[in-house]
Structure 1
Amino acid sequence: MTNAVHIVCPHCDAINRLPETRLSDTPQCGKCHQPLFAAQPLELDTRRFDRHIERSDLPVLVDFWAPWCGPCRMMAPAFAQAAGVLEPQLRLVKVNTEAEPALGSRFGIRSIPTLALFHHGREIARQAGAMGTADIVRWARQHVGG
């Protein structure tokens, strides 16, 4: 029997159920037929955040950032590259704390950039400060066991 996982579509936010063994087969959303993984971070607003964090069986790595933050802008390409390495085992998302201050406040984000790793709606790890691609990948895998 194959384990099924729930994946939230990055395009239409539909919840897709698929066999875990098919994650690497470039699956598409059953509703909008767009790819479930694009090897790039997904920008989330407050409205979409909870659905992606709580309804996905995949761990979700969140980059809390702001456009005025130099280290955030420096880390952005590394975070995008990490998405290409870590998907489909993890979903990488970005939250602009300037545009979504309620999310930054809700999670007590005191400095940016801050990476927070969530699984089944619960924060399981946090790291403040800019990192390179290899460090992001290593840190994420260390906390999800892969």
Structure 2
Amino acid sequence: MSEPIHIVCPHCDAINRVPREKLGVQPKCGKCSTPLFSGQPLGLNELRFARHIHKNDLPVLVDFWAPWCGPCKMMAPAFEEAARRLEPNLRLVKVSTEENQGIAAQLNIRSIPTLALFRQGREVARVAGAMDAPRLVDWVKQNL
């Protein structure tokens, strides 16, 4: 059996230790018993953002968006499709720059949509602009 990895629960934010080979069998949270993966992007606020970025052993892809942004709205279905394709090997999250201006300022987000890929708590890649699902998945795979 391989070394367990840490996965933050998308529901209660508990940190779970899951053997890597068990990722594909729909692991559940040890605290709240909900599935750790749903194939849907997770919406985060400032309070939850740091925990999910720094405590997940999985890479985390963040979509910085705003409700008034046309390209953000157009890309939302592609981001959801990417979540279905990339989980459970990656966590996909959405952060509204309108509601979470502190995160946007801290990370110097200047345009939206902006995608930022984090690994082990550090940003490893960033791209601005809307993408369709195949391009988004390819971009992630190239940068991991």
Shared fold, TM over 0.5? yes
Q: Secondary structure at the match of 1:11?
A: coil
User: Equivalent residues in 2 for 1:95-106 (5 A)?
Assistant: 95-106=95-106
| Identical-pair percentage | 62
Cα offset for 1:3? Answer: 1.8
Number of positions where the alignment pairs a residue of Structure 1 with one of Structure 2: 144
Say whether 1:58 aligns with 2:47. Answer: no
1:21-66 Cα offsets, whole Å, 9 max, x none, are 0000100000000000000000000000000000000000000000
1:18 CA drift (Å): 1.0
Distance 1:76 1:56 in 2: 23
Partner residue in 1 for 2:134: 134
* TM, length-normalised to structure 2: 0.99
Q: How does 1:1-146 map to 2 (within 5 A)?
A: 1-144=1-144
The secondary structure found in structure 1 opposite 2:24 is coil
Q: Which amino acid aligns with 1:105?
A: A
Q: Which amino acid aligns with 1:141?
A: K
TM-score (norm. length: structure 1): 0.97
Alpha-carbon shift at residue 120 of structure 1 (Å): 1.0
Consecutive unaligned residues of structure 1, counting only runs of 5 or more, are: none
* Runs of 4+ deviating beyond 2 Å: none
Q: Give 5+ residue unaligned stretches, structure 2.
A: none
CA distance in 2, matches of 1:103, 1:112: 13
Letter in 2 for 1:61: L
Give 1:124 shift. Answer: 0.2
